[in-house]
Amino acid sequence: MKRFLGVFLALIMVAATVVSCAPAASITATTASTVTDADSSASKEGVGTDAPELAPKPGAIVGEAKAYTGLPLKLGVSFEGNKITEIQILKMSDTKWVGQAAIQQVIDDVIKYQSVNVDVMAGATISSKAAIEAVTNAIKLKGLDPANYQKKPAKEAASTKTIEMKSDVVVIGAGGAGLAAAVSANQNGAKVIVFEKMPRIGGNTVISGAAYNAVDPKRQKAAGVEDSIDKFYTQMYEGGDKKAKPELVRTFVENAYPALEWLESLGMKFNDTIFTVLGALWPRSHQPSDPVGTGYFNTYMNYINEHSEDVKLYLNTEVTEIIKENGRVVGVKAKNADGMITAYAVKGVIDAAGGFGANVEMRNKYNKIWPDLTSIGTTNQPGATGDGMIMAEEIGANLIDMQEIQLLPMGDPITGSLSGNIEQSVENRIFVNKSGNRFVDEGARRDVMTKGLFQQEDGFMWVIVDKHSYPTGDVKNNFSESIDQLVAEGRAYKADTIEDLAKQIGVDPKNLKNAVDTFNKAVDKSIVDPFGRTLFKHKLDTPPYYAGARKPTVHHTMGGVEITTSAQVLDKNGKVIPGLYAAGEVTGGIHGGNRLGGNAVPDTVIFGKIAGESAALGK
């Protein structure tokens, strides 16, 4: 495992060519590496989402393409004759840890292979293609023939070398739960190795809306919200149809705010306002100050970079087996381009490999609730394939609640992702079908709303909001997309009257006007909402009005490995499997039959933190 992926933290903000080795965030298509901090003029100059555009180096040709955000990606490409010698990132706005990592990977591969016919990063296809297009445009502007840069790089054969490693704790997966566990284990005195099969960190958490539910006396009191641990417990337990393990629910609700304080102690920032995320049932959702889920990973990676001697992170490294000897888990087997790895864990292995929302075969195998899920999109990243559950079951772990698969009514009609969603809070929007009529309580549980949506024509709806959600056109949604951008791209519609909005989206103007008027009367409490809705704040009465299309999408798998309150994995007889711990979406028994909106991220933090501590201390 030779070359260091040192640049991970810097490279995602990068403008310079990096010389490390994992395609995860940067570099060549080789493999694993340890993530540490590295010096970079890019990070110093502040290239990133909201940074000013950098000037190209003398002689560089500026190539431009539209990035994932819809904003320009600008690259300065330097040549010596026909050879591409350097690619400088001048301006980019894609998400840190995902889009930016993909762009850097393309840059490194283009320089290495002198070809734009390079692989795109799984889970960041649009960003990867934008980088390829920007380089291609620079080649054209240079007066060179792009056809000369289309040679497909030969695949490098994987090494057959065998590698042996040893650490106190080995973590499977570098998503939210995995990195929380790694940091926690190290804080409790353990040396840690983390293996991630994907070319980037973050899992589903980094591309999530990032809402974090917790009873927070300070922020909630300021908002006039009354809450309690017992109220949170009741809503979570009953909201999951009383199918969850009560002791896990109690552990969750009691530790949610202390875990948030733990994040803050590591440097993470949350906004002061409290809101109600879709399906949360109560205003206790916290929003990180950084966009989407990047704040969690900025926080974890800052810690890991500062403790790089004790915490090693390997990307593009797939764990294939959990090793169990004499009844105890003692390590894992893994593979990457450097060879076959056996990593021994003195104190324990933490399974944080995520759910199976992106595994169509697996979700159809366990689905007993929904229509066939073969053609339904997913919000999940492509690495969410259930590997951690399968490997744990192979050594005797018990799987529970596997049939409990959560769908959301909020998927992009084309991709299934959550991007493009125009809602800002549950209280200030309604859903209407293709006829312009409301059809469900928009403050209800996620499964209730999704089942209601499946009954509508084409399983299709429009989200309707007004100026209360977007006071100005540059206000962004939870995915760092401004409403003006979404309108310009045709992903949202804008009008000064409800009737004009109805015409733009092709619904009956009378029906839409009636839907809005009825909702406004319910806000006024002059009528009882016909769908039983109780969560309100503002009327929909202030132009401009906006509409965005949504369809059902697979979002979260509530089933998985059964654990104790100490995150120890249980076998089929209810006995602890010594040396094996689990956290995050790979586990079951926490959410029951329905996960409340805003509970996924704290799940990763709460039980990731517990798993790290338990493994390090031998609990």
Q: What residues contact 75, with CB distance under 8 A and at least 6 apart?
A: 62, 63, 64, 87, 88, 89, 90, 107, 131, 134, 135, 138
| Predicted pLDDT of residue 160 | 85
Residue 284 annotated to the active site: no
Q: What percent of the chain has pLDDT over 70?
A: 92
**DSSP β-ladder status, 162-172 and 339-351:** parallel
| Predicted pLDDT of residue 481 | 87
Provide mean pLDDT across the span 551-574: 97
Distances (CA, A) of 17 to 94, 147, 458: 18, 24, 47
pLDDT digits (tens, 9 = 90+) for 196-224: 999 999 999 998 889 999 999 999 999 99
Catalytic, out of 200, 219, 429, 446: 446
Per-range mean pLDDT, top range of 98-102, 335-339, 396-400, 424-428: 396-400
Provide mean pLDDT across the span 26-35: 30
Provide mean pLDDT across the span 532-557: 96
Strands (E), 13-114: 61-66, 72-80, 83-91
Distances (CA, A) of 244 to 202, 247, 444: 26, 9, 19
Read off the pLDDT band of 6 (50, 70, 90): very low
Average pLDDT, the chain: 90
| Predicted pLDDT of residue 50 | 57
pLDDT digits (tens, 9 = 90+) for 229-253: 999 999 999 999 999 999 999 999 9
| Predicted pLDDT of residue 3 | 32
pLDDT digits (tens, 9 = 90+) for 577-615: 999 999 999 999 999 999 999 999 999 999 999 999 999
Domains and CATH numbers, the chain: 8-149 (3.90.1010), 162-404+558-617 (3.50.50.60), 407-553 (3.90.700.10)
- Closest by CA to 327, choosing from 561, 560, 580, 563, is 580
Provide mean pLDDT across the span 289-302: 94
Are 378 and 553 spatial neighbours (Cβ–Cβ below 8 Å)? yes
For 147-162, letters b (16+ CB in 10 Å) and e give eebeeeeeeeeeeeee
Distances (CA, A) of 388 to 89, 183, 416, 549, 585: 36, 20, 24, 34, 10
Read off the pLDDT band of 2 (50, 70, 90): very low
Read off the pLDDT band of 513 (50, 70, 90): very high
Whether the per-residue pLDDT at 13 is higher than 60: the answer is no
| Predicted pLDDT of residue 39 | 22
Least confident of 1-15, 155-169, 375-389, 394-408: 1-15
pLDDT digits (tens, 9 = 90+) for 106-161: 999 999 999 999 999 887 888 999 999 999 999 999 999 999 999 999 877 778 89
- Dist. CA 181–CA 582, nearest whole Å: 9
Provide mean pLDDT across the span 77-99: 91
Whether the per-residue pLDDT at 311 is higher than 50: the answer is yes
Whether the per-residue pLDDT at 30 is higher than 90: the answer is no
Whether the per-residue pLDDT at 446 is higher than 70: the answer is yes
| Predicted pLDDT of residue 156 | 77
Q: What are phi and psi of 525, to 5 degrees?
A: 65, 20
Judging by beta carbons within 10 Å of its beta carbon (0-12, 13-18, 19+), is residue 119 exposed, middle or buried?
middle
Are 23 and 113 spatial neighbours (Cβ–Cβ below 8 Å)? no
- Dist. CA 340–CA 159, nearest whole Å: 8
| Predicted pLDDT of residue 1 | 34
pTM over 0.75: yes
Whether the per-residue pLDDT at 51 is higher than 90: the answer is no
Where do runs of H (alpha helix) occur along 307-386? 360-366
Whether the per-residue pLDDT at 47 is higher than 80: the answer is no
